Structure 1
């Protein structure tokens, strides 16, 4: 249940702290006092769209905090636990809106996207707005109401998902089938090109190795001559060479004062130079061992390179791009060359998806048919109590032809009403007056509230368009709901207000600089005064006070 609502700098509310009770809480006040501000603030905490205009003039930001007791809310507690947001049986929703229009949402102190708050709010509060009766004029809303009443919202979502999966696979199958003939020529070209590249058989790194080998073979004679000269100078000459000269230098250095640090360092450097020259000579020998004057091998390398270069020119790419190009052609060919077995497998998947859709949609239809009869009887009963004794409510289910079946299921759903005897049932918008539409809406809301698993129900002026004895019936019904759920009800009707377990009064104070809205919890005497005001207007008489006490059961 909603246990506390804190509002700061929201609209014309500077500061407000409300402690809310179980049962039925009514909210009343003069017209224009801002009775719906509390519900608007609650809506923002629950994830409604925020605008900068909601921030109180002169304030930097507005802040709303809604605290919920989760002891009777296992689904909300499970949701929070799944998101690692659980907090000892409580849920704290906080919304901050800056004057610049920026907005942040928090769940139990953790920043969260608004979408997450909205997902959680469905487990916390069920709001019935003051324009609910206008939604009854939209046929798509009838289907949603019926599915909610039947407890089939999860099944309806499954039907939608199965339909989308079926249509996706079916469209993919259709596209592939249509493309098969168009792709034949492309497949033939790709097959020829990949076969040609297969025959070339260019390996990774082969091009670079061939080009290096070609240079070596072309200059083999010069390379061998120069290389041997280098070896003679470094180590191989019988006369003077680098190693011999360094060895002689080392002997001369050794004849000097060996205790001198500077000479010791010089000796180490000469020794290091000998080692490096020996290693360099060895590397040159290894290289020259691989060099040979081989005109036959040179011809083979040049022919191989010519084949590579020719194929690269043919495809208008660089030779080094051939391997990646070959792989790309293979991937495209594999993609286009799906076998008949693969197409059959896709057709089978599409068929299974269609069967899954029809299976779920059929089960949903059966549940709708059963719930439609039950809902019609229940609404009839409520309408008779609400001053429409001969009204007959009907939930019409019209089976759709195969080509019109979609994500919503196998049938259209429409609410019909017979307001007078002898008349056929017709759509609500063509028969019901504004007052009748309000009562039909109220009847449906009361019935759906009775089956709701959400323990906090909000009714925002749902009693608009009714009064007198009918308003008294509405008040009693809301109080009955309040015996097993928390009810918040904004009302203009004294008959409804008198039924509340808790009464909040909204007032507006016009100051010299700005207007402020305040909400206070009425005690016994103040409550009599407020119900009397609602009965008689500005001038409260002893008669209206006595009537108010009687309505409140105090008389």
Structure 2
């Protein structure tokens, strides 16, 4: 409930602290006393548009705080938590707004800075103001579907549908992402395929460039090297050959050693001959190894005449491919593997795309089924609400008025988390006149009574539990005014109700009555408010009945109204 309203420097109000009680509270006072100022101030605290002319002349800033007490499980606390606003359900919830003389405003919830949008969002969840020119609450067609859902108890189903909608969107985004990737790959696939075929024919190997370069350098020296090897072979094989000469010399030494007799001198010669023979044996072995190595070298240098051309052509082909694809020659093998993976990815992407389409179709089917069932329940609830309004309007002296809940099915591309249907309330005030939106009703009194009837029907269901009706009695009196007061009193059993009224019949039905009046303070005119006791209520209602000159008869009539309430 709304506990208090703290107003500072708003138009004719310098300081005003208003405490509100549960039930029905009537705000009364003479025309021009400042009732509209109080509503403007409350609207400011709830995030409604604030013009800089609301700031009291001679001051720099206006400030308004609305203090609410809410049950711990109130959905507003979850909404605040989602918005990052800290709150304690055991404490009061304070909405505050400041407005500078320059028109700049700031918003606070529990002294934490917030956006005006969030302040307005929270405000509309806590309180509704129904006035002659109110642009919020029931006049906003966007609230009609949530109101009907609350009336029908469809909150859980709407939440479940929202989850399905989110699933559909994610599935659609995934499919679209795959399609975009597929289109991008398709646009490049011909080039990728041609490039891969070229690389497969080329068949590049790791480190092949360096190997070819080394081979090319070797081949350029191979002819000269072969000439040197041939010369060495010619020398080794001159005449009968070095090996044959060494063998003959070794044989002669061996014969000499065999013929040598003993003796001191013979022993010395023998040692020399033996050393010479051993050296010749080693030389013969080394010469044989040298000849064998020269043969190996000769064979290695015996290259094909066109091998140089082949190596150069291969190196040229590799380097040309590297330039074409803007990679190094050593990177060609990696590029080949990458292009192979891309083509394989295109094939697997087709399978992924098929699976994504199936997932989207399934999610869409679930959503459509749920949305269709929800729309059917809304249609039935709308008929019941029409029947309830048909009962509520006659006691408010609107016997000829009619109320309709219009349901419009939307095209698939206009569906959303709340479903595939739109709900809006329409009314007709007189027989023969077409139905139209609530905001199109010309009479402020009719609009207020329609709002009263509708809120009375919804009071046990959902929506703000604080309602303010501004001059709901406009243009009515007598029995009609009494009927309005009676219905407001009944509504206050379900919600806190504040009514700004000029009707004594309505005021008499209130549990609490506050009088708004002007007072002079020096040269300044200020608006003040008083809580009336029983005697003051009698006097105030008598004034509302008789005007400026209050008679005993008016006081007696006031007593009768109060006692009858």
Q: Same fold (TM over 0.5)?
A: yes
- After superposition, residues 372-411 of structure 1 pair within 5 angstroms as 372-389=382-399, 393-397=403-407, 400=409, 406-407=415-416, 409-411=419-421
2:435 aligns with one of 424, 427, 447: 427
Cα shift at 1:491: 2.2
1:92 aligns with 94
TM-score when scaled to structure 1? 0.67
Secondary structure of the residue aligned to 1:48 is coil
CA–CA separation in structure 1 for the residues paired with 2:484 and 2:406? 27
CA–CA separation in structure 1 for the residues paired with 2:314 and 2:127? 78
Of stretches 454-463 and 2-11 in structure 1, the one that deviates more from structure 2 is 454-463
- After superposition, residues 168-187 of structure 1 pair within 5 angstroms as 184-187=186-189
Cα shift at 1:475: 1.0
Cα shift at 1:34: 2.8
CA–CA separation in structure 2 for the residues paired with 1:147 and 1:322? 65
2:308 aligns with none
Cα shift at 1:124: 3.1
- State whether residues 426 and 437 of structure 2, in contact with CA within 8 Å, keep that contact through their aligned partners in structure 1: no
1:104 aligns with 106
Note the residue ranges of structure 2 that are not aligned, 5 or more in a row.
218-310
Residue 348 of structure 1 pairs with residue 358 of structure 2 = yes
Cα shift at 1:395: 3.5
- After superposition, residues 92-171 of structure 1 pair within 5 angstroms as 92-121=94-123, 123-131=125-133, 142-152=144-154, 155-156=157-158, 159=161, 162=164, 166=168
2:68 aligns with 68
- 1:474-523 superposed Cα distances (whole Å, 9 cap, x missing partner): 11111222234321222232221222112222233466765433222223
Residue 482 of structure 1 pairs with residue 484 of structure 2 = no
- State whether residues 204 and 318 of structure 2, in contact with CA within 8 Å, keep that contact through their aligned partners in structure 1: no
- 1:369-400 superposed Cα distances (whole Å, 9 cap, x missing partner): 332232122111111211234655444546x4
Secondary structure of the residue aligned to 2:34 is coil
CA–CA separation in structure 2 for the residues paired with 1:470 and 1:464? 10
Residue 4 of structure 1 pairs with residue 4 of structure 2 = yes
Residue 13 of structure 1 pairs with residue 13 of structure 2 = yes
- State whether residues 73 and 123 of structure 1, in contact with CA within 8 Å, keep that contact through their aligned partners in structure 2: no
Q: Aligned pair count? A: 468
2:544 aligns with one of 521, 531, 534: 534
- State whether residues 107 and 114 of structure 2, in contact with CA within 8 Å, keep that contact through their aligned partners in structure 1: yes
CA–CA separation in structure 1 for the residues paired with 2:77 and 2:357? 43
Cα shift at 1:353: 2.6
Note the residue ranges of structure 1 that are not aligned, 5 or more in a row.
218-300
Of stretches 370-379 and 309-318 in structure 1, the one that deviates more from structure 2 is 309-318
Cα shift at 1:341: 2.0
1:447 aligns with one of 452, 457, 467: 457
- State whether residues 30 and 517 of structure 2, in contact with CA within 8 Å, keep that contact through their aligned partners in structure 1: yes
Alpha-carbon distance change, 416 to 189 in structure 1, aligned in 2, over 3 angstroms: same
- State whether residues 70 and 77 of structure 1, in contact with CA within 8 Å, keep that contact through their aligned partners in structure 2: no
CA–CA separation in structure 2 for the residues paired with 1:152 and 1:545? 50
CA–CA separation in structure 1 for the residues paired with 2:342 and 2:45? 52
CA–CA separation in structure 1 for the residues paired with 2:69 and 2:358? 50
Residue 459 of structure 1 pairs with residue 479 of structure 2 = no
Cα shift at 1:98: 3.1
Secondary structure of the residue aligned to 1:89 is coil
Alpha-carbon distance change, 370 to 63 in structure 1, aligned in 2, over 3 angstroms: same
Residue 59 of structure 1 pairs with residue 67 of structure 2 = no
Larger Rg: 2
TM-score when scaled to structure 2? 0.66
- 1:56-88 superposed Cα distances (whole Å, 9 cap, x missing partner): 333232222222223476444565677542163
